[in-house]
Structure formats: C-alpha cells, structure tokens
C-alpha cells in the first residue's frame, strides 16, 4: 500500500502477516487442478489433496520446535482450543479449575468459561485469573509459579497465552509446565503470538498441548487454518476423551466407513474434517519460506530489529513513553507495546495518516511488531520519525 508516493511502514505482522510472493501462483495451481481434475484431484492433482496436510507437517514442526507426530495444521485457533480442552480439561473432585491470565485474549477466556459451564460448573468459581502486581502490567514468572504452588491441587488446566497478545510478554513454558505437572495439572499454551515469532521448542517445553493461528507471524492469510500440538506422550493415550471425526481415523481404512473409530497415532487423531485445500496452500507457501530462512536466523534478526526499535523509541523520553513489553529479549518476541502517556487515539490516527500501519489498544497503547521476514531497519527508523513528529 502506498501513502503520498511512499510505501506504508507495515508493523502489524502480529495481527495479520503479509502475503508471501509465491502464494498467488500456488493458489492458482490448485484452482487449475480442481478445474481439470474435479474429484480426481484428491489423488492426481500436482499436490494430491488426500494427504495434503501431511506436506505441511515437517516444516510446521520445525517452526514450533516439535516432532512431526506432535503437530498438525487444522481448523482455526479457537476451534482447536476447544478440541484440546475437551481432551485436557477434565474437572474431577476438588481439581476443577482453569488458570488463565486476567488479560487473556477474549476468545480464550470465552472458550475457557464455556468449557467450565459445559461441565456443569460455575466460571466464577472455576476460573483463576492471574493478575499483574499493583502498578505493573506484565506478570512475574515467580508469581505464576507461586499460584500454581499454592492452588495447584485445585487446578485441572493451566492455559496461558504465549506470547501475551497485549504486552508481548513471553513466558518460559518449560518452567511453567514443570511446575504444573509437579502439581498434577495439565498445561496448555495459546501460541497465537508465539508461533513464527520466536522458537517455541514445544516438545522440550513438556507442555501437554498448544494451539496457534497461522495468519499472524506465519503469514498464511486472513482466517487461515490454525495449528495444534499434542505432546508425544499422549500420542497413543486411550484414556483421553476426544471429539472425533473421520479425518482422525486410520488412513488405511478411512474410506471403508467402518463403525469403530481407530485413531491415527499422534495429534492427527484430533482432525475432524477433510481440510480446506485453498487455505492449506497459503499455509504451505509460507512454511516453505520459514524452512528456507530457519527460525534461528529469523530470531537473530528479530532480536536486533526489536532492540533497535526499543533504543529509538526510548530516546523519546521516559516522561512520554513507557514500553510495557519486558526489556529482556528472552521474555519477548518481535512485538513492542508502547504506552504513550496522556495520549489518545488522535495520536494513533495521526501516525496512520503519516504512513504507519500499527495497532491501537485503548486507552493508550500502540502495538508494533517489526517482523524479520519483511521489515527492515529503515522501516523501524521511519516509524520512529513519524511517531516523534506526531508527538
């Protein structure tokens, strides 16, 4: 997009990632195959649709740091979150609660509350909300661990957003999972803002499940398919309750339409339907770029881009600017949440007018994300100049 003859500075990859150059042609390929083959495309398309989701698995597993058996691209985020809670939230006896962040993304909270109600329980009693300390915005890891320590016996599921959508704070999943498991809780993460943003090492983290969307840092297009991770230890766990559909059934006998469900080992068993190929195309197109670039190299550039942004923005003065996101690179990804004291939406409208695409959160926070795949140091500098000018 252009503004006054100059390209907009796009710093909104945390909300909707930009389109890979290859996506359009790859989509065209599937449209042509559909036109030419009809149903035969399931087997004879250039990329046969029957096993299509499998083409994505290995690359996706690398992006989130998991084994292929632990990762699948399916559904959308909130749908996957519900499917995972069906399996990993089993309130029993005095262990009935879900631990969540007070400022969790609304959809996550609605999902958790409705799961609690689905079990005939009261969200007021069964949802524990983690709040930051008085005068602070980010949660402290020690406080999260303390709540798990003292209330863990009553917690059935720990469900945290990683990275937090509002503050950009990244939680150490390994530490939290370990503590949760010591207390007998299930542990899951919503990695909507983590996937493709920083290396998640989901397998090593030991968490039971994770879900994410692919339209933010993974650049797969508006409303595209999401991802799900179920730890290998549950790959063949017959004790887990699960909502099931034909796409989770043993591939060799799927079309025999037998009565009994025979799950595919691993997270693929959670698949319900045959997936929308046109959306899969976009996810795959993006994953090929991630494969080529590699998460570690992307992360190196991200740390440096974000550090540069932080340095510039801080020069605007602490009396005006407060960066809410943790200063420690280990505790954040690409996003900076910049609180502008005594500012209102007019400031945001002004920087938009001057050519920056960012994101505004009431009352006074601008969220920006410099994404290593397509943002440059120059973008960061232009943002800083436009913000400084607007102030």
Ligand X SMILES: *Cc1c(COP(=O)(O)O)cnc(C)c1O
| Residues of the shown chain interacting with ligand X in the complex, contacts defined by CB under 6 A | 76-78, 105, 107-108, 161, 165, 190, 192-193, 213, 226
CA distance 246 to 57: 19
97, 322, 356, 381, 382 from 275: Cα distances, Å = 33, 44, 36, 41, 41
Residue with smaller CB distance to ligand X, 108 or 268: 108
CB of 250 to ligand X, least distance (A): 28
Residue with smaller CB distance to ligand X, 161 or 275: 161
CB of 78 to ligand X, least distance (A): 3
CA angle 373, 378, 383 (to 5 degrees): 100
Residue with smaller CB distance to ligand X, 107 or 352: 107
| Residues ≥6 apart with Cβ < 8 Å to 93 | none
CB of 104 to ligand X, least distance (A): 7
Residue with smaller CB distance to ligand X, 188 or 226: 226
Picking from 340, 339, 323, 322, the residue whose alpha carbon sits closest to that of residue 331 is 323
CB of 187 to ligand X, least distance (A): 16
41, 53, 88, 228 from 49: Cα distances, Å = 6, 8, 30, 20
| Residues ≥6 apart with Cβ < 8 Å to 39 | none
Could you give the count of Cα atoms lying within 13 Å of 311 in the half-sphere of its Cβ? 9
CB of 171 to ligand X, least distance (A): 13
Residue with smaller CB distance to ligand X, 207 or 386: 207
CB of 311 to ligand X, least distance (A): 27
Residue with smaller CB distance to ligand X, 108 or 354: 108
80, 285, 315, 350, 362 from 346: Cα distances, Å = 37, 38, 22, 6, 12
């Amino acid at each position: 997009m252009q503004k006054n003859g100059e390209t907009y500075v796009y710093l909104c990859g945390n909300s909707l990632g930009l389109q890979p150059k290859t996506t359009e042609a790859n989509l065209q390929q599937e449209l042509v195959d559909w036109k030419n083959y009809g149903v035969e495309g399931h087997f004879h398309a250039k990329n046969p649709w029957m096993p299509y989701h499998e083409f994505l698995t290995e690359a996706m597993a690398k992006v989130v740091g998991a084994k292929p058996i632990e990762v699948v691209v399916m559904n959308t985020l909130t749908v996957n979150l519900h499917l995972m809670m069906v399996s990993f939230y089993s309130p029993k006896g005095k262990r009935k609660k879900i631990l969540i962040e007070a400022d969790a993304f609304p959809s996550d909270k609605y999902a958790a509350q409705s799961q609690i109600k689905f079990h005939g329980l009261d969200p007021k009693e069964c949802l524990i909300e983690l709040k930051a300390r008085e005068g602070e915005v980010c949660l402290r890891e020690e406080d999260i661990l303390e709540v798990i320590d003292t209330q863990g016996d009553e917690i059935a599921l720990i469900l945290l957003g990683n990275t937090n959508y509002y503050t950009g704070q990244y939680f150490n999943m390994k530490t939290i999972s370990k503590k949760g498991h010591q207390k007998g809780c299930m542990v899951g993460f919503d990695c909507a803002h983590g996937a493709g943003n920083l290396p998640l090492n989901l397998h090593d983290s030991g968490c039971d499940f994770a879900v994410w969307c692919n339209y933010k840092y993974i650049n797969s297009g508006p409303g595209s398919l999401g991802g799900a991770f179920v730890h290998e230890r549950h790959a063949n766990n017959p004790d887990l309750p699960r909502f099931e559909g034909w796409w989770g059934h043993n591939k060799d006998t799927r079309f025999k339409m037998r009565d009994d469900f025979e799950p595919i080992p691993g997270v693929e068993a959670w698949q319900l339907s045959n997936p929308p190929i046109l959306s899969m195309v976009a996810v795959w197109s993006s994953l090929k770029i991630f494969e080529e670039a590699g998460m570690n190299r992307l992360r190196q550039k991200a740390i440096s881009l974000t550090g540069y942004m932080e340095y510039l923005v801080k020069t605007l003065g602490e009396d005006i600017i407060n960066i809410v996101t943790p200063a420690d690179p280990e505790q954040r990804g690409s996003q900076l949440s910049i609180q502008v004291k005594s500012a209102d939406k007019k400031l945001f409208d002004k920087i938009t007018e001057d050519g920056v695409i960012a994101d505004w959160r009431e009352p006074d926070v601008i969220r920006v994300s410099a994404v290593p795949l397509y943002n440059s140091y120059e973008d960061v500098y232009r943002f800083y100049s436009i913000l400084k000018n607007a102030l």
